[in-house]
Structure 1
């Protein structure tokens, strides 16, 4: 699943490619993943100029001149396609056809990716929002007995962090992913806050440097801990892996457990 850094680059590239274009037609291949009727969607955004593409959490937002907004959530296996070909990719969910011939398409072979017209405002802060500081974590974690990694992954607590980056953040902060969130001391919450921003912002830089035109997929080769190809952390400590369901947690014994 693409996480915040991936989606940040996708949004920038789509903004560059699509901003200012007139949407000629929207084609819905899977209406079950819409929050409105196809007719209502067409009425809202067809023949409208796309003003901007931006990211919030794990979603991409397409803002049109008439103030209509279309959000896209790629879910686990969604992919984005941008071309001037008339051939529709397999497993299409929704297509945006622009007047100049540009075709944007969301696909998902699992059929789970979704599009939403004028989504409700989400008060949950983005992981890179200014208010996500040590005080934020202290307030949120105070009532959370769950493992800190699970809390970081909860999109109702903080938006944008997924499995891979949660592992990277907790390793950099020196906090075990199995620590109880409400037992983490204030000084470590400061470390966590710094790690969230540094890891995510650095990832955006790394992806932008090596894959400047990317609009789909995941780039993970620069990660320090969450990597099947690495056996030791940068400091030489063995990387341990615990599997819970379909999710794998990568960590080391350098990380302190708080319980």
Structure 2
């Protein structure tokens, strides 16, 4: 297989992404074939739904303080080391800014629940990148509906029978013969809705050599996908996540635009590739 990122303009809150995606695929000069995958970032779908929360409006309670100290000290100095969390993430946990983190944890508690706020980072799929101001972007409310709509529109406009996937960058882990994620939901075949325990079990499986990271998490799939295993689907989601061009270092954006707030105007100037086409029949050829 081979994956191609598809460039689109920035999709504004509440804007229908489907015609934008169709036009972007046409302009890419990539010829879709039956059986290809069209994989969408969950953030684009959530943005289209208008599914934003303003973290500045949340007032931290006692559980938010608990989650803040839990992440900074328990994860930062104990569990992170035991479960072999990456060293750069451990360093970031130890330096968590108090005021912003408290509001963020409170937003997670009220939006998806305490079990997700206890995760050290990437809690419940609530995304802070590529969104303006103090907004955060929870997972799409109805990803399967949007996957079906895009599938039907591609078939109508381009005359091909593809597989449409909406995926999140958060991990799916293999534990023995089971797949599990720390997200609130995922496709059938992946255990979800268990919050921080999905993360702990996944990291523990890696430490004990009975599993570990398997790929990224498909939230919805539509089309002829049942011939693929869960392992293959999460691997496709992972490959697409690796070729997306997104903000890697928010501080570089702050420095470039001399600001501490990401505005919609800045987001419009950045490069966005929230769609990836995966040619399932095309052999991957490394760039020399």
Could you say which TM-score interval applies, normalised by the shorter chain?
under 0.3
Instruction: Tell me which protein shows more helix as a share of its residues.
Output: 2
Report the TM-score when normalising by structure 1.
0.26
Report the TM-score when normalising by structure 2.
0.24
Q: Structure with the greater relative contact order (CA < 8 A, sep ≥ 6): 1 or 2?
A: 2
